Amino acid sequence: MEAVQTCKRCLYDSDHPLGLEINDEGICSGCLIHEEKDNLDWQSRWQDLEELVRPYRCLRRVKYDCIVPVSGAGDSYYILHIVKERLKLNPLVVSYNKYFNTPLGIRNLANLRSKFNVDILIQNINPTLVKKITKTTLRTIGSIYWPCIAGQTVLPVQTSLRYKIPLIIWGAHQGVEQVGMFSHLHNIEMTRRYRKDHDLMGFEADDLLSIFDTLTEEDICQYRYPPDSDLRKNSTLGIYLGNFVRWDPKQQHEEMINTYDYKTSKFSRTFDCYDFVDCYNYMNLHDLIKFYKTGFSKVTDHACREIRHKRLTREKAKKMVQYYQNQPCEYLDLFLDWLGVQEIPLEFSLNLHRNKSMWVEEEPNGWVHKLHNEKKVNKSSFPRKLRFIANDSLNRDEESKYITIGKGYP
């Protein structure tokens, strides 16, 4: 096996799960494709986008022009801002309820609906079923997030067929943003293959059936990607705005905070206050599992992004990653309560999924990361200028469970 190399510019290693090339100068494909952000003629890319969406615009405003998948966080506000305010399209907004909702996420989603004046379709899959699938994927592939990702990536596609709306508009493509899998100029589109291989860790809904006999066809049918022939007949097309607009999540979120009152929060395991504020688990238990399985956590993704946008030096980023990736996971009790499991069996199950080429068990339950084992990091070495605004918080005194279905806000 080839030795693992680290990019000289960002912090990604050559064994990145999405696949990453490092060139002779020691620079990774993600950093090289990022350079396009400063070199492409974005004005002309915008014209290409206008051309692309023109045939989908219904001039009489009697039906929807496109589907936009959203959550109470992420890039949802910015995508809608582009689609509704700049492209002047009439979207049907869809949202998969992943049940790990924070009050802040519920609030952001309600605020989005009224600020953008859109119709929203929320899918609430039978919670008993979601828990059953979560238990299975947790035990077998070490994932508590499979149903969430499967649901949010399939709902827009199913809706496209059901409502006969061919165009689906996503934000940025993760493979382009993180590892430079494609050039922005490739205009990469949504595919079943990428969803299966990367979003779903190689397991489509039916694969869960054939491998694990705990689930039945009835259990997984809501997560089933429609057949290619149906998608072709409907001319379903999923495009990514990140190929046409210079994507910079920090700057975009700050614009959304100022323009639409998007609410944000501090997290214990990363410095980014804008991503995933709708979910109690993404930046906590799910992030811890990512750290066990891949050897790096979400803070590395955030740090690499900030290095590439030249707001953070590599040296300072390294310190921040070392600090944040070793911080405790919060809100675990909420998850244990929701799924009806105990902490010790959960820990046991998670340890089975640790990547043993990166982790060693030095003493019973004393796991050490082979490379990133420096636990004590002085926070005074963190950059002062890299400011993320936390204008709210995930904590609520009165709330002790997930808001599985939230009430509306004005």
For binding to Zn ion (CB under 5 A), which residues are involved?
Answer: 7, 9-10, 28, 31
User: What number of other Cβ atoms are within 10 A of residue 336's Cβ?
Assistant: 15
Cα–Cα distance between 399 and 396 in angstroms, integer? 5
Residue 297 CA, chain-centre distance (Å), reads 13
Residues in a beta bridge with 369: 359
DSSP 102: -
State the nearest-atom distance from the C-beta of 6 to Zn ion, in Å.
9
Judged by beta carbon, residue 10 or residue 144, the one nearer Zn ion is 10
Nearest to 371 by CA among 320, 296, 314, 305: 296
State the nearest-atom distance from the C-beta of 357 to Zn ion, in Å.
21
Judged by beta carbon, residue 98 or residue 308, the one nearer Zn ion is 308
State the nearest-atom distance from the C-beta of 301 to Zn ion, in Å.
12
Residues 6+ apart with CB under 8 A from 297: 269, 270, 287, 288, 290, 291, 324, 325
State the nearest-atom distance from the C-beta of 180 to Zn ion, in Å.
8
Judged by beta carbon, residue 38 or residue 337, the one nearer Zn ion is 38
Rounded to 5, what percent of the chain is helix, strand, coil?
Answer: 45, 10, 45
State the nearest-atom distance from the C-beta of 155 to Zn ion, in Å.
33
Q: Assess contact for 79 and 68: CB atoms under 8 A.
A: yes
Region for residue 328 given its phi and psi (left: phi exceeds 0; alpha: psi -120 to 50; beta: otherwise): beta
Judged by beta carbon, residue 28 or residue 256, the one nearer Zn ion is 28
Using the structure block, give the residue that is written with the tokens 């688990």.
281
Judged by beta carbon, residue 285 or residue 307, the one nearer Zn ion is 307
If DSSP codes are grouped into helix, strand and coil, which group holds residue 407?
coil
Residues in a beta bridge with 170: 240
State the nearest-atom distance from the C-beta of 292 to Zn ion, in Å.
23
Judged by beta carbon, residue 177 or residue 392, the one nearer Zn ion is 177
Judged by beta carbon, residue 21 or residue 199, the one nearer Zn ion is 21
Judged by beta carbon, residue 15 or residue 204, the one nearer Zn ion is 15
Residue type, position 388, single letter: F
Nearest to 46 by CA among 54, 56, 35: 54
Residue 58: how many CA atoms within 13 Å on its side-chain side? 13
Give 87: exposed, middle or buried? Use CB within 10 Å, 0-12, 13-18, 19+: buried
CA diameter of the chain: 68
Judged by beta carbon, residue 27 or residue 329, the one nearer Zn ion is 27
Distances in whole angstroms, Cα of residue 281 to Cα of each of 145, 266, 386 = 9, 14, 25
Q: How many H-runs (helices) and E-runs (strands) does the chain carry?
A: 18, 7
Judged by beta carbon, residue 9 or residue 98, the one nearer Zn ion is 9
Judged by beta carbon, residue 10 or residue 321, the one nearer Zn ion is 10
State the nearest-atom distance from the C-beta of 33 to Zn ion, in Å.
10
State the nearest-atom distance from the C-beta of 369 to Zn ion, in Å.
20
State the nearest-atom distance from the C-beta of 306 to Zn ion, in Å.
12
Compute, in degrees rounded to 10, the torsion defined by CA atoms 157, 181, 148, 280: -140
State the nearest-atom distance from the C-beta of 18 to Zn ion, in Å.
13
State the nearest-atom distance from the C-beta of 310 to Zn ion, in Å.
13
